[in-house]
Amino acid sequence: MSSTTTSKLGLFKPVPGSSEPFRPSDFNNNMDLIDAEAFAIDARVDTLEGQTLDTRLTTAEADIVALEAADVALDGRLDTLEGQNLNTRLTSAEALNVTQTTRLDGIDTLNNTQTSRLDGIDALNTTQNGRLTAIETLNTTQTSRLDGIDTLNTTQNSTLTAYGTRLTNIETLNTTQNTRLTAVEGVNTTQNTSLTSLTARITALEAVDVTLDSRLDDLEEDIDGGTP
């Protein structure tokens, strides 16, 4: 009779063909070792669940949940099979544990990579925070300047409103003046026509005056020359 232990968990297993019995104490010890490994895996999974992981971690969490469900089912089936030769199935369970350990090691490696990337992001965030602070300071300065411009615009708007009122008054006066000028221009046209007629008449009268003056001159000569 002889027995050995598994390399990973140290589980007891009889050497096939040696007639080594599988005692309940051996089975219980093996289950304790498996439970301890399951608790260790659960603790590592809890640690992983507390971190921000990518899509691969989400897939790994789903796999772990499935493995936990399988472990629960396996525990129930192993309770039923206590006292029986479970070496083959335990060997399969050990192989599964090795596979899970390998996958968890991969997850640990991924966590290390993600931690490094997050450190880079933290450093970048620090830089960005500094730049954002500078931008916020500049925004405050710009806001102050814009407030000043708003105040000036309000003053200018008030002044422009006053100017607008004055311009409206001027436009109204211009309309009145245009109406009066139009009337004056009409009178001027009439006066120009009358003056043209008067000029013609004056010109005619002047011509008559010249003629009359000449006739008077002749009469004066005749009268003076005819004096005895």
| Residue 135, helix vs strand vs coil | helix
| Residue 8, helix vs strand vs coil | coil
Q: Over range 194-210, report the average pLDDT.
A: 90
CA–CA gap between residue 148 and residue 48 (Å, rounded):
55
Digit-coded pLDDT (tens) for 111-153: 999 999 999 999 999 999 999 999 999 999 999 999 999 999 9
Domain ranges of the chain: 3-127
CA–CA gap between residue 31 and residue 82 (Å, rounded):
11
Residue 75's nearest CA partner among 85, 61, 88, 89 is 89
CA–CA gap between residue 99 and residue 31 (Å, rounded):
18
Q: Over range 15-21, report the average pLDDT.
A: 83
If you write DSSP's letter for every residue of 95-113 in order, what string do you get?
A: HHHHHHHHHHHHHHHHHHH
Contact 6, 13 (CB under 8 A): yes
